């Protein structure tokens, strides 16, 4: 893992925080107490991460965003905006966990629905 040194301010990893292997933490990042950052995660510069945050593996966080206390981010997510409400999140762009799961269910059904639409269009032409 790599933690970049800040040039003017400080890069801070607070007490009790655990950082897995292959994690990149940019300059000026502040990570709160008792957070967990899992493998292959990249955190860009000047990010503020609260206390008791869990960031799943292969997650990317763009620079200059804030993640509040008590946030859990699922693996392979992309954080492109600040998360100001505690809860569970996943996906790209980052979405509340339950909303993202609904999206995945709908996505799996697209092929079946596309076939039904093609069939309906054929029937309309035949009339």
pLDDT of residue 112: 86
Q: Which of 27, 31, 41, 43 is catalytic?
A: 27
Residue among 16, 104, 23, 93 nearest 56 (CA) = 23
pLDDT of residue 60: 98
Q: State both tokens at 52.
A: 């008791």
**H-assigned helices in the chain:** 97-108, 110-126
Burial of 127 (0-12, 13-18, 19+ CB in 10 A): exposed
pLDDT range class, residue 23, cuts 50, 70, 90: very high
Residue 64 among the catalytic residues: no
pLDDT range class, residue 8, cuts 50, 70, 90: confident
pTM over 0.75: yes
pLDDT surpassing 90 at residue 72: yes
Burial of 64 (0-12, 13-18, 19+ CB in 10 A): exposed
Q: How crowded is residue 97: how many other Cβ atoms within 10 Å of its Cβ?
A: 16
């Amino acid at each position: 893992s790599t933690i970049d040194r800040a040039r003017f301010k400080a890069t801070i990893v607070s007490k009790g925080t655990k950082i897995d292997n292959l994690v990149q933490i940019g300059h000026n990042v502040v990570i709160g107490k008792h957070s967990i950052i899992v493998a292959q995660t990249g955190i860009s510069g000047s990010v503020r991460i609260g206390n008791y945050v869990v960031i799943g593996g292969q997650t990317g966080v763009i620079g200059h965003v804030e993640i509040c206390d008590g946030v859990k981010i699922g693996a392979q997510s992309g954080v492109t905006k600040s998360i100001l409400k505690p809860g569970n999140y996943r996906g790209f762009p980052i979405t509340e966990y339950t909303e993202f799961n609904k999206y995945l269910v709908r996505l799996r059904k697209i092929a079946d629905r596309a076939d039904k639409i093609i069939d309906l269009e054929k029937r309309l032409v035949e009339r």
